[in-house]
Amino acid sequence: MRAHLLITAVAICSSLVGCSKRDRVSPTTLAGAIEAWDDAGLDAGAFEPADDLKVAGGACQRGTVEGLEAVVCEYSSVDAADRAREAGLRVVGSATGLAVASGPLLLVATDREGADPSGKAINRVTQVFRGQP
């Protein structure tokens, strides 16, 4: 019962403006995403162009965040990033991972090496990418 109340309290708190010390905003560029991860204390390595990786026409760069393979693609619109999600899931393949759009960006995060068996890192990377506390 206490766990259920705690989960409910966290969900309510997450939905309220001003619940965290600092309101976060979803990044709209790769540089903004890296800065958000760094500000959140997450280890974001260097990103390099991923010209060989075509994800529905996006301008993609590849790097690592918290030991996960990460590809961030920039699109001309929010709709284009949403439509690219399916192509991002094909990049993940049968590995553990996800493809999530936020604004004009698509994040494809993959744990091919089993570095995050609990899923906590991939969850945190995604939350920060979406501008959530």
Question: What is the reported pLDDT for 107?
Answer: 97
Q: Is pLDDT above 80 for 131?
A: yes
Q: Is pLDDT above 90 for 8?
A: no
Contacts of 69 (CB under 8 A, 6+ apart): 62, 97, 109, 110, 111, 112
Q: Whole-angstrom Cα distance, residue 15 to residue 132? A: 9
Mind listing the pLDDT tens digit for each residue in 77-113?
999 999 999 999 999 999 999 999 999 999 999 999 9
The answer to whether 109 touches 126, Cβ cutoff 8 Å, is: yes
Query: Domain ranges in the chain?
Result: 22-129
Q: Whole-angstrom Cα distance, residue 122 to residue 53? A: 21
Q: Is pLDDT above 60 for 6?
A: no
The answer to whether 49 touches 55, Cβ cutoff 8 Å, is: no
pLDDT tier at 12, thresholds 50, 70, 90 = very low
Annotation: CATH topology of 22-129: Protein Transport Mog1p; Chain A (3.40.1000)
Virtual torsion, Cα 61, 64, 66, 67, nearest 10 deg: 150
* φ, ψ dihedrals at 85, nearest 5°: -55, -45
Residue 111: exposure state from Cβ atoms within 10 A (0-12, 13-18, ≥19): buried
